[in-house]
Structure 1
């Protein structure tokens, strides 16, 4: 076999190892479906309390508070597979860490675009902040696009990627906002939005997992350490410096990293190279793993349940639900091979970043043209719920169409 053929075979095996796991794509896709729905539903008034995020001062959580943790869990599910596939293609540790840093940075850049989209000063930028966001996201999309066409178009795609990067840099360069005291300032990095938080968390968990990935119990040990750190921070036994920037301490108080590490541990249980090969052994481990965080979360309820405050009980309950949900999907989709029912979610799971950004493109386009129809007519009660359902279905349909047209974004 020639070297080129060997390379193609290794790449095929590396890619197929993750692409054949329908449960991961469907888990990610279903999470995206609910995320799009609840994000749009947030602007609808007059609904029961459990259809929104629980307020920070309330000792409670709703199903909405579990959506973001499921996304973090999905990041952890994919991490061991992605690391293994990348090292098969290129065993260089330097190349691996370069990829991880660039991927984290790309998520943070995207997150800061979304977080600053409504803060821009049109008078200082030269046009509306929503148009600024559209151009910045368009440039990011061009740069992160994946080309799957013929060799002839590869050069054109490379040029488009370079132009996209230039557009992003230009949008960052011209961005200006007005502070509360009337001075102008640049990008506000205090809150990098969900994508940025995922970027920081992905990097933090990679720092822990990759050097210890050959040790079977390492993910569980790191998970226990992160939960303990989270509990000590919430109990104020460990006091983090106020306004500590995530680029200094990407672990934050440990809650987000613990959820992602739980995804890593779940991936190891079902897909790792270990002695638990039988389905019964894997499912037994998963059941035990789902019950343990539930019990631990119950013991830590004196620290309250709150997504906004990122308490350990919130993260542990979300971990328990995510492990149980993935175990069920693994049994249905990968063992029983029943995947047809998830037709609406699979494109969102396979092309996640594009699906995530589609609603933002829509919101910014609507803001740019000044349309307020839906805000005025379908923003209250059950008509608003119907609007959110239709909007979610439209976003999924567009994502499926673009995926079929081989338009894909990849970090």
Structure 2
């Protein structure tokens, strides 16, 4: 693969990840969702728990590939940093927009969030890529994982006492409550799955992507050798994550160090398969929907959130009480003829297909909205 040749497998992986995000975020009813499409209740890892770290892993790879090209083109580092900071700010503000939509009550608006975490990881990883080499990145990543493990399992929690990993009394929850009280996830109010302290290991997820991108920039390795390296590294990551998980359990909400290694390992294996089939074997007959999704990934994700909230805003009175447009759509199109779990899944798939249609229109018109 030459430097100028686009890595189509990365586009496919990105698109599939965004489609999966939309699928798991939009069931017809949260009370009837197949278990693999739900997050683990606390410790553990379901397929749904893989989606967000996959996206951060992809962010890291994209940084390596994109900014290497820009540096080689002679673009000044200071100018690149300005663009990075501005892009990070835009993504963060988009996250706040989604949190506040449609009422924008700034007294209670959720400050952490998915896009907010993506913006921070993008900012830190981009600066690391521009200012450090891959060895420094690897060492820093390892240090941050060990540091986070130490903070969460050794440092006493102020006002609580012994360190613990319980939802409301761990050190991360204490810090979120201290600094962001009243601006946390509405379902908990006292802790946040995208909280402050757990953003530290999330940055390391991005670093694993940086290191993977470095592998692709190594022109001394053949495509087949790169696949082998990714498989070896992926298997090692999964193994290390499972072993580490014995002492520091795999947990998405806490973004534990074991979770970083485990999910990055799986991400490496899946990406290696994509690269092998798509870029090496040229098996591309099935990839178009994912390429289309990946071409406007952030835009489609934001639109999905706006549509989901809007469907709950539109409501009217019926003989059975008040019904929302979301409830009417779900009941009429799916629950009226499908078992509840299949109906809920059908509604989620409809969301994926409708947003694919929007992404296809943008793609066909060559409109690529760069956030």
TM-score interval w.r.t. the shorter chain? Answer: 0.7 to 0.9
1:308 corresponding residue in structure 2: 253
In structure 2, the CA distance between the partners of 1:393 and 1:253, relative to structure 1 (3 Å rule), is closer
1:105 corresponding residue in structure 2: 89
Structure whose residues are more often helix by fraction = 1
Gaps of 5+ in 1: 1-15, 119-128, 130-174, 178-184
Gaps of 5+ in 2: 157-170, 181-194, 316-324
| Equivalent residues of 1:73, 1:259 under 8 A apart | yes
> Helix, strand or coil: the match of 1:310?
coil
In structure 2, the CA distance between the partners of 1:253 and 1:352, relative to structure 1 (3 Å rule), is closer
- For residues 246-277 of structure 1, the C-alpha deviation after alignment (integer angstroms, 9 at most, x for no partner) is 9xx977452211111111111111x21453x2
TM, length-normalised to structure 1: 0.72
- Root mean square deviation, CA, Å: 2.6
1:227 aligns with 2:145: yes
1:295 aligns with 2:244: no
Separation in 2 of the partners of 1:91 and 1:235? 44
| Equivalent residues of 2:296, 2:369 under 8 A apart | yes
- For residues 16-58 of structure 1, the C-alpha deviation after alignment (integer angstroms, 9 at most, x for no partner) is 95772101100101111111111112744223433211123xx
1:388 corresponding residue in structure 2: 348
| Equivalent residues of 1:22, 1:339 under 8 A apart | no
1:373 corresponding residue in structure 2: 328
1:283 corresponding residue in structure 2: 227
Separation in 2 of the partners of 1:310 and 1:343? 32
Matches within 5 A, 1:136-147: none
1:165 corresponding residue in structure 2: none
Separation in 1 of the partners of 2:72 and 2:14? 24
1:242 corresponding residue in structure 2: 175
Separation in 1 of the partners of 2:175 and 2:283? 49
In structure 2, the CA distance between the partners of 1:291 and 1:230, relative to structure 1 (3 Å rule), is farther
- For residues 53-107 of structure 1, the C-alpha deviation after alignment (integer angstroms, 9 at most, x for no partner) is 1123xx2111111100111111011001121233344521111110110011001
| Equivalent residues of 1:107, 1:195 under 8 A apart | yes
Aligned residues: 324
* 1:303 positional shift: 1.4
1:217 aligns with 2:124: no
In structure 2, the CA distance between the partners of 1:47 and 1:253, relative to structure 1 (3 Å rule), is closer
* 1:203 positional shift: 1.1
> Helix, strand or coil: the match of 2:276?
helix
